[in-house]
Each structure stands twice: as C-alpha cells, then as structure tokens.
Structure 1
Amino acid sequence: MVVSNGTATLSLTLAAVGIEPGDEVIVPALSFVATAAAPMHLLAVPVFVAIDPDTFNMTPAVVEAAMARVRAIVVVHLHGLPADMDEINAVARRHGLPVVEDAAQAHNAHYRGRPAGAIGTIGTLSLNVSKNLATCGEGCLVTTDDEGLARRVAPLRQFGELSGTGTPRTYIPHMLGWNNKPHAIQPAFTRSQLRRFPADLLRRERNIRPFLDRIADLPGFLATHPLLDQHILRFRGDPAAFGLDDRYMGPVRAEVQRALRAEGVPATPYQSMPLPTQHMFRAAHGFDAWLWRLAGTRTQPGGPDAFPAVFRVIEDSFATQEAHLHPDAGPLLAHYASAFEKVWQNRDDLTRLATALTYTPPWE
C-alpha cells in the first residue's frame, strides 16, 4: 500500500495497531525527528531508549528495560543497518506489543535472510527522493502480512472511508482518518524504479566497494558496518589514530570534516543532538505540551548521562549523505577516496589544529 509520505505512514501504522492518546511508544534516541513525532500526532508519548554505539540501533535489553505503560515499539534500521529483530520481537511478544518497523533508510537491507520492513508487525519504507528507492518527491510503502491491519490502514489514509479496487467511492467516513493518499504519479514512478532497482544495486556495489576498501586502509576513519546499499555512509573519527585521547574526539571530527569539505566531500553531521533534547520534545507550550503533564507520564531524560552512546556517536562521527546512491557515482566516490587519503596524509596538521581548536559540541 502506498501513502503520501513516511511521517504520515508512521502515524497511520501506529493508529492501525491501536495506539491511543496517552499511550507510550518506544522510539530510539537517535533517529530522524519523524520517528518520535509520529506518536505525538496521535497524542501518544514517545519513550526514548538508548542505542548500541556500534549499530546505532536500539537493543532488546533497552526495550525490555523501558516497559511500563508501553503499547508499541518503533524500531528504526538506521542508515540501513538492521536492528536485532528476532530478540526485539521476542520481547514484544512477551508483553503483547506490536512492532512497527521504520525502514525508511533500509530498502534492500536484510536481517538473517529476511528483508527489513517485513519482520515486525507492520513496516514502513519511505520513498522520499533522497532514499535508496525513490519516487518523485514523497511517498511511502506499508508492508504487513496481517490482513486486518491492512484493512485498517487503508481507510485511515483517506478520511476514514471504506473502499476497494473497482468500488465506487461513497465519501462516507466510518472512522476519523487523514488525507494521506498518494498522487497517482508517485506509485507509477515507484513501479518504474522497482523494475530498475536490482540493476542499480549491482552498479552501486561496483562503485561503493572500491571506495570503502580504500577508506579501510586509513586507520583514522572507521566506516561503520559498510553495507553496500546503506542509505547513509557514516564514518567515525578515531582520536587515538591521531595520537590523541578521547577528549579530542569532537575536535578531531570537526577538523576532519572541515578538511574533507575543503576537498569537495559533503561531510556533514547526521543529527546534531539526540531526539529527547530537541525543543519539540521538551516544549512547555503548544499542541503537544500537555503530553508531558499527563498523570503517570515519566520524565524524559535527555542529557549525556542518560544517553552516553548517542552523544558519543554525534560527537565523533560524520556522514557523506546520499551521494553514493546514484548508480553512476563511481568517479565521484573515487574523488572522495582520494580526498580521505589526502586528509590522512596531513594528519599531523589536523592534530595540531584539533588540539588548538576552541570547540563547541554540535548539540550546544
């Protein structure tokens, strides 16, 4: 089923699995803002959990520890790295909870032989123009093998109307729904992209593997789980490789990022602050403010002590965003690799700059 965009789809799927005002929904503390905004559109409360510093995803242990008034779990496969779905599903089954897969960045990602978006109770795969599988602008796919859920999502995306293929539209809503149906061009464009997707994957592999192999020879840059069809390629700077201790992981990342950009590499942060520290989740006024004042709503921690792994990942890593996804990106990636090598060759200068830098963390 196609919906107008990924954020709307997350709200629709949460509504379809029965989320109501005041319910708690587990979400990771590191993700795009839509993951945590979607429950709030239903007046439900996002409960933020920590991530594994190696995969950037929530773990079964933190999910288990967060249980209280939780009514659903939103799992994000960040950058296309699949979360530990078997164990998270097992936790969900013990507590009778649905699992919504936010697979917006995980087209073609597989977990133990199964495609992301098809492992939980219901899945969403964004078709935003920046994604691995893109439509013209916005769009999102809903995947589920539960016919009852599919029947609930369909009317929710179109004013709550019940209709089917070949059935005349009645314009009579049977529930409160949204206007989140796609434009006809969006699914048509997606079908065209799907036909080319396998061939594009092979071309990406031929481009990305040589690039990652060259980066692997540079001790200062750690490519995080370099899957060949990752949505975003993320690199972590290793201060020890520059002869520095962890106090300088932020300055090293900042100087490396600046040097790469000077060489034409679009090195940028992916999220500058954890979700629970962002203003919309801590507001004292507006539509969502009453959520944090509901009786029984737990305090949402946001500082480094609560989410040390999230703050560290933000502090020491940068991304090259989506340039590698273009099937003809081979020459560009070769240029990027040369830029990484040049930066590494000049690491003594970068070390000197990093130790002298007046540094402010991204979240400040």
Structure 2
Amino acid sequence: MTGKLAMFGGTRTVTLDEADRKLLAWPIVTDAERTAILDVLEHGGFTSVGAGAAVVRELEARWAAYTGTRHCAAVSNGTTAIELAIAAAGLDPGAEIVVPALSFIATATAPLRHRIKPVFADIDPRKFTLAPAAAETAITPRTQAILAVHLHGLPCDMTELRALADRHGLRLVEDAAQAHGATYRGRQAGALGDIAAFSLNVSKNLPTCGEGGLVTTDDADMHDQVVLRRQFGERVPDKGERPYVSEVVAGNAKLSSMQAAFTRCQLDRLAEWVAERERNVSGLLAGLADLPGLVLPWTPPDRTHAWHMLRFRFDVAAMGMPDVAPGAARSLLQRALRAEGVPLQRYQSMPLPAQPALRAGKYDPREHPVTAAVLDDSLTLQRWHLNPASEPVLRRCVEAFHKVWANLDVLAPVARQAS
C-alpha cells in the first residue's frame, strides 16, 4: 500500500473497524473461564489455604509438568515470584547478583528488597538478553548469583550462563515472566536454571484475571523455602488445625483459587496458542523482511521465542538517512506508524541502572552502550499479536510499514530538523 501518509492527512492503513476486539482481545475469556470462576464462587474456597487449595495445587502440578520441573509454587504476582526465588536461592545479605541493564524495574528491585545488590551487565544487540561476556566482567568476589531475564520471550544463552555460574559457584535464577512456552535446546523456559519465576499478569502469554506468579525448580529445598515464605513463614498442613507457627520472617504472597482456576483454563490452550502465535508472527516478519534498515527480532536456531513482544530496531544508514540521529528517526517513525494504526511504543525508556530509584548519582550510558543504543533506536509491538486470531490485523500492519517506508524520502527532512 502506498500513498500519502496518514500523519500528513492521508488515509489510515489499519482502521478502527479492522482492529476488531475479537481479533485482538487479550486475554481470551471463554465459557471455560466463566464456568471455572463460577465454580469457585459456588464452593466458596477462595484462597490457597483450606477449601481452595486443591485448585491452586492442580495449577502448580500442571505447570510443573508443562515445564518439566519437579516443583511449582503459585504466588501473588511475578515480582513476588522473583523475590521468593531469590530468597530461596539462599543468597547472603549484601551479596551481589548480575542482572541485565535492559529489563523491567522488578528485575532490580526484587533483589534489593532482600538486601542483594544488583550489578548491571550489558545485553546482546540482536537477542536483547544478558550477554554472557558482559556478565562475566560484572562478577566480583561478592557475586553469588546471575539473574537471566528471558526478555520479550526469548531464552537467554543459558549454556554459557550455566557454565559461567558453575565456574564461579553462583546460583542461576531465571526471570521467565515473559517466556511462557519458549524453549532452549529442547527444554522449557523455567527448567533451565536453579530456580525460575513467571508472571501471570493479565498481559502475559499465560495470564490470570489480574495478577499472579509461578516459581519452578527441581530443588526440593528451594521449593520448600518458597512455599514457606508465601504464607507468613508457616507450614500449613493439608488437614487439621493451623498451628500459627512462623519459622521465618515472611509476608503473604498466596495466589487465590479464583486466579488459579482462570489460569488453569488458559493453560489448556497454551500449546495451541504458542503454535498459532509462532505462525502469525513468522508471517508478519516475513512480510517486513525486505524493508531496508528495519532490523527484525531474531531467534537463534537452538531456541524458540514466546513472542511476548516484538522489538524492531531502525538502522538509519541503511534507511538512507545516515545524518539523522537514531532517536530522532525512532520518534518520527513511531508517529508515522501510529498514525497509520500500528501501535508501536517504547518498552523501557532508559537503561535499568539509570532509573532514578536505583542510581546513587549521575548515570553514564556509556557504561552499557548496547542497551543505550537499543533503547535509542527501537520500538516494540505489544499485545496485538498475542491473540491467535490477529493474523488479518498483522497483515494490515505489514501494509502500514511498507507505506511508511515508501515515504522515507518525505520523512527524512522532518527527521533532520529534530533534536
């Protein structure tokens, strides 16, 4: 599709009628979810203690089986899942944990809440995950763990990170919040480190009807610590009276049975949706492959991508605009594509260590140059592709990209005037 850009008064490519909720809604709520919720309401077991425990345990058993791990604990949200995974790893107060410089803020705040210092390492420019070489340079005598974030749904270089952790005697923790259903060398995300944390936030590939989290591990002692710490440090018996004895200082991080029932229904369709999403996203990327300067997300052949979100980078030189600042080109392309109906947006606006809550002084982006460059020259597509029925809308998105690229000569002078 060509013609005058919508931002200059032309016709919008992806119309509001085409962006139909039935094609883009997420999560998908069916009669199965409604029946499961009503069943919980009918029987009155609302929490994971007491009558609702069976619903939560069923979800835990099924997620452990899906990921190929021995144990799973359901918790209140994804951030709590990271916190409990770190607590269960047994790190000493004041120890350090290596984390990627590009991630959501919870990657850093979760260890800090357990008095563990995050030390930031740069990312791979194509995978957007923790670069093993950068992680190694961040290790000090105080380092006790590596937090591998499977950002956007792509598993990290886990063989290299496992070898690095073993060489230095470190725990390897997975932040798999965005990676439900992704695999690495035939194994599921969540079964690749010592312990792993998932989010069940309503926006995630495996959602609940609000907030939730899952922690997986093969280590019985770590699992015991997670279960202990999600219920005030208590061991709640399956039967009999609650003893009200707390073995450790802990809060309340339980998942409700209603949330577990909802996610259990979503899990029934996860494998099917993973396959359909792979098919739809592959079609989208194939339709964009010939656009010069558009750097598409990449999946190495030894792993699969969950496609929680898609990050596109813009190579200004290849686009014929070598004199335009990457940030200016990114900002203008965002305006042009959003005007055409493609809701591209930034995911994170600064390197994680630049967050005001985390820095002690002024941050120098040269400390993590790859992260800074990626944030400067990229945009993401979020949620629109999660629904397996989204393929018709994604085809129209391809047309919108092609229309914008056909007008790069019109956009270039505008970009040159930008700050």
TM-score (norm: length of structure 2): 0.78
2:259 paired with 1:182: no
Going from structure 1 to structure 2, the CA distance change for 1:206 and 1:88 (only over 3 Å counts) comes to closer
In the other structure, the counterpart of 2:51 is none
Equivalent AA in structure 1 for residue 183 of structure 2: H
Q: 178, 184, 199: which one pairs with 1:126?
A: 199
Question: Would you say 1:112 and 2:185 are equivalent positions?
Answer: yes
Question: What is the letter of the counterpart of residue 137 of structure 1?
Answer: G
Structure 2 equivalent of residue 262 of structure 1: 339
Partner Cα distance (2:227, 2:105) in 1: 25
- The aligned counterpart of 1:203 is 276
Q: CA deviation at 1:190?
A: 1.2
1:83 Cα offset (Å): 0.9
After the TM superposition, which residues 20-169 of structure 1 pair with which residues of structure 2 at under 5 Å, given as runs? 20-68=92-140, 69-166=142-239, 168-169=241-242
Q: Determine if contact 1:274/1:302 at 8 Å carries over to the other structure.
A: no
- Report the alpha carbon displacement of residue 6 of structure 1 after superposing the two structures with TM: 0.7
Q: Deviations over 1:118-170 (max 9, x none)?
A: 11000111111111111111111111001111111101011000134446432
Structure 1 residues 246 and 161, CA, compared in 2 at 3 Å: closer, same or farther?
Answer: farther
Tell me, which stretches of 5 or more residues in structure 1 are unaligned? 285-300, 360-364
Larger-Rg structure: 2
Cα distance, 1:202 vs structure 2: 2.9
Identity of aligned residues (%): 50
326-335 or 172-181, which deviates more: 326-335
Q: Distance in 1 between matches of 2:372 and 2:323?
A: 13
Count residues with an aligned counterpart.
342
Give the distance between the partners of 1:206 and 1:87, measured in 2 at CA.
29
| Cα distance change of structure 1 residues 95 and 175 upon mapping to structure 2, 3 Å threshold | same
> Could you say if the C-alpha distance between residues 333 and 166 of structure 1 is closer, same or farther in structure 2, counting changes exceeding 3 Å?
farther
Question: 1:206 deviation in Å?
Answer: 3.6
Give the 3 Å change call, closer, same or farther, for CA 273–115 of structure 1 in structure 2: same
Deviations for 1:66-103, whole angstroms, at most 9, x for unmatched residues? 22111111110111111111111111112211111001
Name the structure 2 match of 1:239: 316
Shift in Å at residue 310 of structure 1? 0.6
2:397 corresponds to which residue? Answer: 336
Deviates more, 1:224-233 or 1:29-38: 224-233
Aligned counterparts of 1:96 and 1:2: Cα–Cα separation in 2: 28
Distance 1:313 1:118 in 2: 28
Distance (Å, rounded) in 2 between the aligned partners of 1:168 and 1:97? 40
Amino acid at match of 2:376: E
- Equivalent residues of 2:199, 2:213 under 8 A apart: yes
Q: In the alignment, what sits opposite 1:17?
A: 89
Per-residue deviation, residues 316-336 of structure 1 (Å, max 9, x unmatched):
000011210012212221221
Runs of 4+ in 1 over 6 A off after TM superposition: none
Residues 174 and 228 of structure 1: CA distance in aligned 2, closer, same or farther (over 3 Å): closer
| Deviation of the 1:52 alpha carbon | 1.2
1:26-62, Cα deviation, whole Å (9 max, x unpaired): 1111000000000111122111111111111112222
SS in structure 2 at match of 1:280: coil
The CA distance in 1 between the partners of 2:298 and 2:363, in whole Å, is 27
Structure 1 match to 2:375: 314
Distance (Å, rounded) in 2 between the aligned partners of 1:62 and 1:207: 34
**What amino acid does structure 1 have at the position aligned with 2:395?**
A
Q: Which amino acid in 2 is paired with 1:316?
A: D
Q: Is the 8 A contact 1:224 1:235 kept in 2?
A: yes
- Code of the residue aligned with 1:337 in structure 2: it is V
TM-score, normalised by the number of residues in structure 1? 0.90
Secondary structure of 2:385 counterpart: helix
Letter in 2 for 1:328: A
Structure 1 distance, partners of 2:275, 2:158, is 26
Structure 2 residue 409 is the aligned partner of structure 1 residue 355 = no
* C-alpha distance in 2 between matches for 1:212 and 1:328: 17
Q: Residues of 1 paired with 2:110 and 2:162: CA distance?
A: 21
Tell me how far 1:209 sits from its aligned partner.
2.4
Which amino acid in the other structure matches residue 52 of structure 1? Answer: D
| Among candidates 71, 76, 84, match of residue 4 of structure 1 | 76
Amino acid at match of 2:223: A
Structure 1 residues 167 and 277, CA, compared in 2 at 3 Å: closer, same or farther?
farther
Residues 246, 140 of structure 1: CA spacing in aligned structure 2 closer, same or farther, 3 A cutoff? farther
Q: CA RMSD in A?
A: 1.6
Question: Which of 1 and 2 has higher RCO (CA within 8 Å, sep 6+)?
Answer: 2
Q: For the residues of structure 1 that align with 2:383 and 2:408, how far apart are their CA atoms?
A: 26
Partners of 1:5 and 1:128 within 8 A in 2: yes
| CA deviation vs aligned residue, 1:261-309 (integer Å, no higher than 9, x gap) | 101111111100001111000258xxxxxxxxxxxxxxxx831221110
Separation in structure 1 between the aligned mates of residue 183 and residue 381 of structure 2, nearest angstrom:
22
| Whole-Å separation in 2 of the counterparts to 1:18 and 1:229 | 30
Give the direction of change, closer, same or farther, for the CA distance of 1:351–1:14 in structure 2 (3 Å limit): same
1:29 and 1:108 map into 2 onto residues whose CA distance is: 24
- SS of residue in 2 equivalent to 1:7: helix
Q: Secondary structure at the match of 2:312?
A: strand
Specify the SS of the correspondent of 2:357.
Answer: helix
